Amino acid sequence: MPAAPSRVEADIPDTDILGPGADILDVLIVGAGLSGIGAARRLQRRCPGKRYAIVEARESIGGTWDLFRYPGVRSDSDMYTLGYDFKPWTDAKAIADGPAILRYIRETAQEGGITQHIRFGLRVRSAEWSSSDARWTVTAERAADGRSVVLRTRFLYMCSGYYSYAEGHRPRFAGEADYRGIVLQPQFWPDNLDYSGKRVVVIGSGATAVTLVPEMARTAAHVTMLQRSPTYVVTRPSIDRLARWLNRRLPRGAAYRLARWKNVLLAMFFYQLARRRPEQMKKRIIEMARAQVGPEFDVDTHFTPRYKPWDQRMCLVPDGDLFERIREGRAAVVTDGIECFTERGVKLASGDELPADIVVMATGLKLNVMGDVAVRIDGRACDLGATLAYKGMMLGDVPNLAMTFGYTNASWTLKADLTAGYVCRLLRYMDRHGYAVAMPRRDPGVLPQPFLTFTSGYVRRALAILPKQGSRRPWAVYQNYLLDLFNLRYGRIADGVMQFGAGAKS
């Protein structure tokens, strides 16, 4: 667990954040990404009297969609479900470019008057709950001068994403120091890199690799996707024809809602089909790849994974762009291990060498939990990896704290929206009944299980630090929008597990 900053240079009661005459916030949201902005918008609408602020470690809104700047960065789920339920997505493209998503998030913040609630350049390092006065004391480090800012809040709402912004997963290979070309990580893409006419090797086979390869192949001399093992790659049209048709005929909100539901239900249908009839689904996906990539291509080696569909996240390619670049001969896939780097490129386990001017390590994210914030409860350190998630969004025996963790098999925002709605219901319930504290009481009879069941490397590497889930309601994490909709939007707040307390009068 990360430690709290050892050197507190100043304890600044930030009146700028709290507002004049106040010394405590009702809700502190951590993170101004897709989730944090959505959470604030919901809070403003459903709990208009609440005094809230957002603290954001970076100097800008958008999180993921501001951080990632590699060529072609885009969503890999459709914007009718990755968009907020309260703000229709109106661009033509359903599979949208990163900059368009960033504009959408900024617009939401601007329209809702949320931007003025954000304090940028403040990284939360620790949060300490005190039962005696029913509040969190949150310590954040100010980027500008490294000084500590202390904030007090009744409710802490973590919208800090799920991975480290400081580092990605970066394996090291023998001989890297000898390599004469450029080695890059997608998370830290340099401005103005000119790769036209260059030979590029992209190491990896996940969402980032399948985005980068076709985009770079437009102008590079050649791009090779070098993968240790294959992934399921599925084509989807970048434009949703039915959604466009609805848009022309119905009011914007109605068209968006229908398109959203259509995509929610279709995604759930295909997910269920994949889990119930994996062999049939696998055959179909591979046939589709074969049809697009051409008869000469070795689909069995390069596009036939050893695992079942949805044991790991599927990779989506809009309009089959990856397959098209392969057909054109501008891109290739090599499935092999890496022996070492050489002066000229990458030497493979098979003995072949791939010459490269640029090597991109699309080797994945490094997951983290709750923005690496060190949590303490009444003076005791709380090991988040040992906690049990309640409805996949609060933690057993941790009071007045919610976190956003989206779906792995559907758009993140679907769960983020439901979580925000539940938090507002909970806060309103507490107000109606005069409660200051809400805490899911952990049931010792519920056995902890992994929070995520994906077999992907980035998930397995993080299982120890992620909270756990239980085998039954309300401790089970459902990767299922309909079940969560029922539980979070309509389920009872006082369900016998959630315990309430009056707290201190303040």
- Residues near ligand FAD (CB under 6 A) are 30-36, 55-58, 63-64, 68, 73, 75-77, 82, 123-124, 159-161, 165, 208, 371-373, 404, 406, 411-412
Q: Which is nearer to ligand FAD, 79 or 497 (CB)?
A: 79
Beta pairing partners, 402: 157, 394
CB of 424 to ligand FAD, least distance (A): 17
Q: Which of residues 412 and 475 has its CB atom nearest to ligand FAD in the complex?
A: 412
**What is the nearest approach in angstroms of ligand FAD to the Cβ of residue 148?**
13
| Full DSSP string of 271-336 | HHHHHHSHHHHHHHHHHHHHHHH-TTS-HHHHS--SSPTTSSPPEEEETTHHHHHHHHTSEEEEE-
Minimum CB–partner distance for residue 407 and ligand FAD (Å): 7
- By beta-carbon proximity to ligand FAD, the closer residue of 290 and 366 is 366
- Closer Cβ to ligand FAD, 57 or 437, answer by number: 57
Between CA 147 and CA 145 the distance in angstroms is 5
> Of 74, 108, 109, which is closest to residue 93 (Cα–Cα)?
74
Cβ of residue 40: shortest distance to ligand FAD, in angstroms? Answer: 11
Task: Write down the least CB distance from residue 316 to ligand FAD, Å.
Answer: 8
Q: Which amino acid is at 181?
A: G
| Spatial distance between the Cα atoms of 490 and 477, rounded to a whole number of angstroms | 17
Specify the residue, 138 or 281, whose C-beta has the smaller distance to ligand FAD: 138
Give the CA angle between residues 265, 268, 274 to the nearest 5°.
140
Report how far apart, in Å, the C-alpha atoms of 64 and of each of 33, 34, 73 are. Answer: 7, 8, 10
3-state helix, strand, coil split of the chain in percent (to 5) is 30, 25, 45
Closest to ligand FAD by CB, 106 vs 199, is 106
**CB of 208 or CB of 304, closer to ligand FAD:** 208
- Our CB check for ligand FAD shows the closer of 2 and 19 to be 2
Spatial CA neighbour of 231 closest among 201, 206, 202, 203:
206
Residue 439 CB, shortest distance to ligand FAD, in Å, is: 22
CB of 140 or CB of 299, closer to ligand FAD: 140
What is the C-alpha separation between 473 and 404, in angstroms, rounded?
Answer: 18
Q: Which CB atom, from 12 or from 493, has the smaller least distance to ligand FAD?
A: 12
Residue among 70 and 179 whose Cβ is closer to ligand FAD: 70
SS3 385: helix
Q: How far is the CB of 248 from ligand FAD (least distance, A)?
A: 25
Residues 6+ apart with CB under 8 A from 265: none
376: Cβ contacts below 8 Å, ≥ 6 apart: 4, 126, 127, 128, 129, 382
Q: Distance (Å, rounded) from C-alpha 210 to C-alpha 362?
A: 9
Q: How far is the C-alpha of 367 from the C-alpha of 163, rounded, in Å? A: 4
Residue 301 CB, nearest approach to ligand FAD (Å): 27
Cβ proximity of 493 and 425 under 8 Å: yes
| Token reading at 73 | 């960065």
**Least gap, CB of 114 to ligand FAD (angstroms):** 13
Q: State the nearest-atom distance from the C-beta of 371 to ligand FAD, in Å.
A: 3
Kindly report each contact of residues 336-340 with a partner whose C-beta sits within 8 Å and lies 24 or more positions away, as own/partner. 336/226, 336/228, 337/228, 338/173, 338/203, 338/226, 338/228, 339/174, 340/173, 340/174, 340/175
Smallest separation (angstroms) from ligand FAD to the CB of 207 = 6
Query: Alpha carbon 122 to chain centroid distance?
Result: 20
15 HSE (CA, 13 A, CB side): 3
Cβ(209)–Cβ(184) below 8 Å: no
Cβ nearer to ligand FAD, comparing 264 with 497? 264
CA distance 392 to 36: 17
Nearest CB to ligand FAD, comparing residues 319 and 336: 319
Q: Smallest distance from the beta carbon of 25 to ligand FAD, in angstroms? A: 15
Residue with tokens 């309601």: 473
Closest separation in Å from C-beta 297 to ligand FAD: 26
Residue type, 461: R
Burial of 343 (0-12, 13-18, 19+ CB in 10 A): exposed
